[in-house]
């Protein structure tokens, strides 16, 4: 629940002209919340330090975060950082470090976050099946597709019937050994990222001769 609240806060924030940069970070910050909870073994102090470190990370500071989580674990990265002390940075700090959110983040279940990671890993296996060997470039492209698909669909809401009531379904997970579990039915998956990719490919090709039809070329 706290993830939804903070995402909504970030969305509101990016609407302000001076905070447009926040929008470019919303997804990364959201994923960081999952990672903080999933990788801390239920240690509330560690989860909180990992979580608040993102307010420093966005301004390109990756060390001296806290006692238990002192520095970021990522390799050297390049991206458009938010300016330290700017209005956008202050807004990110206000949202990430709000007392209420920090309290909620400490209580995120590592198991829930693990299941999120597991669903991502199964998605990677869907795009890059283990039955087939892929060369590096192909594997990289498939993992990128899995990330695009996951990012677009991981926040789907619960589907509703035509009368507005929520949809549910029964499932029989292995660990229940025949027992039944009621789960929400999610909205239909979308593939907008595929349209965006096709548009980008088309724009890139428009500037080259390769987009010209063979008949055009032979007429010259
Ligand atoms: Zn960092």
Q: At what angle do helices 192-206 and 136-153 cross, to 10 degrees?
A: 130
Residue in the block written with tokens 């987009």 = 211
Is 138 part of a structural domain of the chain?
no
Contact 157, 186 (CB under 8 A): yes
Is 61 part of a structural domain of the chain?
yes
Contact 3, 73 (CB under 8 A): no
Distance (Å) from CA 60 to ligand 1 centroid: 7
Distance (Å, rounded) from C-alpha 169 to C-alpha 153? 19
Distance (Å) from CA 55 to ligand 1 centroid: 9
Is 116 part of a structural domain of the chain?
no
Is 12 part of a structural domain of the chain?
yes
Distance (Å) from CA 10 to ligand 1 centroid: 19
Indicate the pLDDT class of residue 143, thresholds 50, 70 and 90.
very high
Distance (Å) from CA 12 to ligand 1 centroid: 24
Distance (Å) from CA 61 to ligand 1 centroid: 6
Structural domain including 31 reads 2-108
Is 32 part of a structural domain of the chain?
yes
Distance (Å, rounded) from C-alpha 62 to C-alpha 159? 40
Strand partners, 184: 168
Instruction: Give residue-wise pLDDT tens across range 149-168.
Output: 999 998 888 899 899 888 88
- pLDDT on residue 17: 66
Mean pLDDT lowest for which of 54-58, 74-78, 137-141?
74-78
Distance (Å) from CA 2 to ligand 1 centroid: 22
Average pLDDT over residues 185-195: 93
Average pLDDT over residues 84-89: 92
Distance (Å) from CA 80 to ligand 1 centroid: 13
The DSSP element (H or E) to which 170 belongs, if any, is strand 168-171
Q: Is the pLDDT assigned to residue 218 strictly greater than 70?
A: no
Q: If DSSP codes are grouped into helix, strand and coil, which group holds residue 184?
A: strand
Tokens of 140: 């990289």
Of the candidates 92, 96, 93, the residue with the CA atom closest to the CA atom of residue 13: 92
Q: What total number of domains does the chain contain?
A: 1
Is 159 part of a structural domain of the chain?
no
């Amino acid at each position: 629940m706290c993830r939804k609240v903070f995402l909504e806060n970030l969305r509101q924030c990016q609407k302000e002209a001076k905070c447009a940069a926040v929008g470019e970070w919303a997804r990364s910050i959201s994923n960081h919340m999952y990672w903080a909870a999933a990788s801390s073994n239920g240690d509330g102090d560690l989860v909180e330090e990992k979580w608040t470190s993102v307010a420093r990370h966005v301004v390109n500071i990756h060390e001296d975060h806290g006692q238990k989580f002192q520095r970021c674990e990522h390799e050297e990265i390049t991206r458009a950082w938010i300016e330290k002390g700017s209005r956008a940075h202050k807004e990110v700090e206000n949202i990430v470090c709000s007392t209420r959110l920090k309290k909620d983040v400490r209580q995120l279940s590592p198991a829930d976050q693990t299941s999120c990671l597991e669903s991502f890993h199964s998605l990677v296996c869907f795009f890059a099946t283990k039955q087939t060997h892929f060369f590096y470039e192909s594997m990289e492209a498939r993992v990128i597709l899995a990330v695009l698909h996951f990012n677009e669909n991981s926040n789907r809401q619960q589907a509703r019937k035509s009368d507005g009531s929520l949809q549910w379904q029964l499932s029989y997970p292995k660990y229940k050994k025949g027992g039944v579990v009621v789960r929400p039915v999610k909205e239909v998956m979308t593939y907008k990222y595929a349209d965006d990719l096709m548009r980008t490919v088309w724009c890139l090709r428009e500037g080259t001769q390769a987009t010209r039809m063979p008949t055009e070329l032979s007429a010259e």
